[in-house]
């Protein structure tokens, strides 16, 4: 029996998942988006502005807009040593909306840029599991554990029987 994706999303308690922006909070968030959009109009190559606006779009659950802004942030930050975080965040959004192959590509690139991250191994393993690549998913979970990510233990047990 295949473990539902929600198990993994709940298990990892993604720090970027925000409570639904409603009412006054939603309007405040939309106003900040408008303000950041104005700043982007003045400084259109500022990757940090796009990344910040992507976070705001996530709060409003506008994942397509958040993904687009993260793509712009990546385009404008080719030399940023923290670029892997942008790939990780875009991958999480793509996983959340079911774009599994694109999520895998983002996580793979994030791992290339930050090969010592157990969290990225876990995330890659979750996507591979969802794509029915169980052997590769188990390898990712084992790699995560070898990098010190203890969170991989229950995943190894549940998915790989270890």
Give the global pTM. 0.85
Residue 12: what pLDDT? 45
Who contacts 62 (Cβ-Cβ below 8 Å, separation ≥6)? none
- 158-to-44, 70, 72 alpha-carbon distances in Å: 46, 32, 37
Q: What local confidence, expressed as pLDDT, does residue 28 receive? A: 87
For domain 18-80, give the CATH number: 1.25.40
- pLDDT per residue over 70-88, tens digit each? 999 999 999 999 999 999 9
The fold of 81-162 is 1.25.40
Q: What is the pLDDT of residues 98-117, one digit of tens each?
A: 999 999 999 999 999 999 99
Classified as helix, coil or strand, 33 is helix
Distances (CA, A) of 7 to 11, 127, 130: 6, 12, 11
Pinpoint the residues of the chain covered by CATH 1.25.40.10.
Answer: 81-162
pLDDT digits (tens, 9 = 90+) for 20-68: 445 568 888 898 999 999 999 999 999 999 999 999 999 899 999 999 9
**Number of alpha carbons in the 13 Å side-chain half-sphere of residue 19:** 3
Query: Alpha-carbon distance 112 to 84, whole Å?
Result: 8
Buried b (16+ CB within 10 A) or exposed e, 39-66: ebeeeeebbebbbbbbbbbbbbeebebb
């Amino acid at each position: 029996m295949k473990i539902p994706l929600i198990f993994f999303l709940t298990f990892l308690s993604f720090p970027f998942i925000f409570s639904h922006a409603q009412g006054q909070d939603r309007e405040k968030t939309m106003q900040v988006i408008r303000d950041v959009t104005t700043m982007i109009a003045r400084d259109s190559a500022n990757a940090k502005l796009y990344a910040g606006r992507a976070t705001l779009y996530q709060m409003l659950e506008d994942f397509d807009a958040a993904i687009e802004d993260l793509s712009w942030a990546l385009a404008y930050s080719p030399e940023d040593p923290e670029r892997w975080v942008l790939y990780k965040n875009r991958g999480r959004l793509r996983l959340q909306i079911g774009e599994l192959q694109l999520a895998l590509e983002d996580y793979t690139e994030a791992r290339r840029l930050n090969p010592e991250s157990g969290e990225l191994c876990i995330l890659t393993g979750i996507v591979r599991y969802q794509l029915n690549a169980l052997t590769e998913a188990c390898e990712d979970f084992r790699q995560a554990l070898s990098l010190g990510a203890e969170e991989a233990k229950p995943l190894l047990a549940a998915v790989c029987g270890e």
